[in-house]
Amino acid sequence: MKIALASDHAGFRYKTIVGAFLRADGHEVVDFGTSSEEPVDYPLWIRPAAEAVARGECERGVIFGGSGNGEAIVANRVRGIRCAVCWNTEAARFARAHNDANLISIGERLVAEADLRAIVETWLTTRFEGGRHARRIAEIDA
Protein backbone atom coordinates (compact mmCIF):
# COMPACT_ATOMS: atom_id res chain seq x y z
CA MET A 1 0.00 0.00 0.00
CA LYS A 2 1.20 3.55 -0.73
CA ILE A 3 0.81 5.61 2.45
CA ALA A 4 1.23 9.37 2.94
CA LEU A 5 2.82 10.57 6.18
CA ALA A 6 3.02 14.11 7.52
CA SER A 7 3.52 15.81 10.85
CA ASP A 8 4.21 19.02 12.61
CA HIS A 9 7.19 19.32 14.93
CA ALA A 10 5.29 17.79 17.87
CA GLY A 11 4.54 14.63 15.90
CA PHE A 12 7.85 14.30 14.07
CA ARG A 13 9.27 11.49 16.22
CA TYR A 14 6.18 9.29 15.82
CA LYS A 15 6.12 9.97 12.07
CA THR A 16 9.68 8.71 11.86
CA ILE A 17 8.87 5.57 13.88
CA VAL A 18 5.75 4.76 11.85
CA GLY A 19 7.52 5.42 8.55
CA ALA A 20 10.24 2.95 9.48
CA PHE A 21 7.91 0.12 10.43
CA LEU A 22 5.63 0.70 7.43
CA ARG A 23 8.62 0.47 5.08
CA ALA A 24 9.85 -2.66 6.90
CA ASP A 25 6.38 -4.17 6.38
CA GLY A 26 6.65 -3.55 2.62
CA HIS A 27 4.54 -0.41 2.26
CA GLU A 28 5.58 2.48 0.06
CA VAL A 29 5.77 5.62 2.18
CA VAL A 30 5.55 9.18 0.88
CA ASP A 31 6.79 11.59 3.55
CA PHE A 32 5.35 15.08 3.19
CA GLY A 33 7.37 16.47 6.11
CA THR A 34 8.20 18.11 8.39
CA SER A 35 11.80 17.00 8.70
CA SER A 36 12.69 17.93 12.28
CA GLU A 37 11.35 18.96 15.67
CA GLU A 38 11.84 22.64 14.82
CA PRO A 39 8.50 24.48 15.22
CA VAL A 40 6.46 24.70 12.01
CA ASP A 41 2.97 25.71 10.92
CA TYR A 42 1.33 22.27 10.57
CA PRO A 43 -1.16 23.01 7.74
CA LEU A 44 1.80 23.46 5.36
CA TRP A 45 2.67 19.78 5.82
CA ILE A 46 -0.69 18.18 6.54
CA ARG A 47 -2.74 19.57 3.67
CA PRO A 48 -0.45 18.27 0.87
CA ALA A 49 -0.57 14.78 2.37
CA ALA A 50 -4.37 14.90 2.57
CA GLU A 51 -4.58 16.19 -1.01
CA ALA A 52 -2.39 13.30 -2.22
CA VAL A 53 -4.80 10.82 -0.61
CA ALA A 54 -7.84 12.65 -2.00
CA ARG A 55 -6.34 12.57 -5.52
CA GLY A 56 -5.58 8.86 -5.22
CA GLU A 57 -1.81 9.33 -5.39
CA CYS A 58 -1.61 7.60 -2.00
CA GLU A 59 -4.11 5.01 -0.84
CA ARG A 60 -4.17 6.17 2.77
CA GLY A 61 -2.38 8.54 5.12
CA VAL A 62 -1.26 8.92 8.71
CA ILE A 63 -0.67 12.36 10.16
CA PHE A 64 0.82 13.35 13.49
CA GLY A 65 0.83 16.28 15.87
CA GLY A 66 0.87 16.99 19.57
CA SER A 67 -2.78 16.10 20.08
CA GLY A 68 -3.69 15.19 16.50
CA ASN A 69 -6.78 17.39 16.61
CA GLY A 70 -5.53 20.35 14.59
CA GLU A 71 -4.05 18.04 11.98
CA ALA A 72 -7.36 16.17 11.60
CA ILE A 73 -9.22 19.46 11.21
CA VAL A 74 -6.89 20.55 8.41
CA ALA A 75 -7.10 17.18 6.65
CA ASN A 76 -10.89 17.07 6.84
CA ARG A 77 -11.08 20.39 5.01
CA VAL A 78 -9.96 18.51 1.87
CA ARG A 79 -12.84 17.09 -0.15
CA GLY A 80 -12.75 13.30 -0.14
CA ILE A 81 -10.86 12.98 3.12
CA ARG A 82 -12.28 11.21 6.13
CA CYS A 83 -9.72 11.67 8.88
CA ALA A 84 -10.24 10.35 12.40
CA VAL A 85 -8.21 11.09 15.49
CA CYS A 86 -7.10 7.72 16.87
CA TRP A 87 -5.84 7.35 20.42
CA ASN A 88 -6.21 3.56 20.71
CA THR A 89 -6.91 0.45 18.63
CA GLU A 90 -10.66 0.63 19.17
CA ALA A 91 -10.77 4.14 17.75
CA ALA A 92 -8.70 2.96 14.79
CA ARG A 93 -10.95 -0.05 14.19
CA PHE A 94 -14.13 2.06 14.29
CA ALA A 95 -12.53 4.72 12.07
CA ARG A 96 -12.18 2.13 9.30
CA ALA A 97 -15.11 -0.21 9.96
CA HIS A 98 -17.76 2.46 10.46
CA ASN A 99 -16.36 5.63 8.88
CA ASP A 100 -14.14 4.33 6.05
CA ALA A 101 -11.41 6.71 7.26
CA ASN A 102 -8.71 7.13 4.63
CA LEU A 103 -6.51 9.16 7.00
CA ILE A 104 -5.88 8.92 10.71
CA SER A 105 -4.35 11.47 13.01
CA ILE A 106 -2.29 10.52 16.05
CA GLY A 107 -1.25 12.79 18.89
CA GLU A 108 2.29 12.12 20.06
CA ARG A 109 1.60 13.82 23.39
CA LEU A 110 -1.50 11.68 24.03
CA VAL A 111 -0.69 8.22 22.67
CA ALA A 112 1.87 5.92 24.26
CA GLU A 113 4.67 4.88 21.95
CA ALA A 114 4.03 1.26 22.90
CA ASP A 115 0.53 1.53 21.35
CA LEU A 116 1.57 3.23 18.12
CA ARG A 117 2.18 0.20 15.91
CA ALA A 118 -0.99 -1.58 17.03
CA ILE A 119 -3.11 1.51 16.28
CA VAL A 120 -1.72 1.89 12.75
CA GLU A 121 -1.86 -1.84 11.97
CA THR A 122 -5.43 -2.11 13.25
CA TRP A 123 -6.48 0.75 11.01
CA LEU A 124 -4.64 -0.67 7.99
CA THR A 125 -6.12 -4.15 8.33
CA THR A 126 -9.71 -3.33 9.30
CA ARG A 127 -12.21 -3.48 6.44
CA PHE A 128 -14.99 -0.94 5.96
CA GLU A 129 -18.26 -2.63 6.86
CA GLY A 130 -20.24 -0.55 4.39
CA GLY A 131 -23.93 -1.05 4.92
CA ARG A 132 -26.19 1.94 5.33
CA HIS A 133 -23.21 4.29 5.83
CA ALA A 134 -21.58 3.56 2.46
CA ARG A 135 -24.09 5.57 0.40
CA ARG A 136 -23.85 8.59 2.70
CA ILE A 137 -20.06 8.54 2.64
CA ALA A 138 -20.08 8.35 -1.16
CA GLU A 139 -22.44 11.35 -1.27
CA ILE A 140 -20.15 13.36 0.99
CA ASP A 141 -17.12 12.52 -1.15
CA ALA A 142 -18.86 13.53 -4.39
Give the active site residues: 71, 98
Pairing, β 28-31 against β 83-85: unpaired
103-107: strand order across its sheet: 28-31, 2-7, 60-65, 103-107, 83-85
Within 1-142, strands assigned E span 2-7, 28-31, 60-65, 83-85, 103-107
Query: CA-to-CA distance for 128 and 14, rounded, in angstroms?
Result: 25
3 state SS of 84: strand
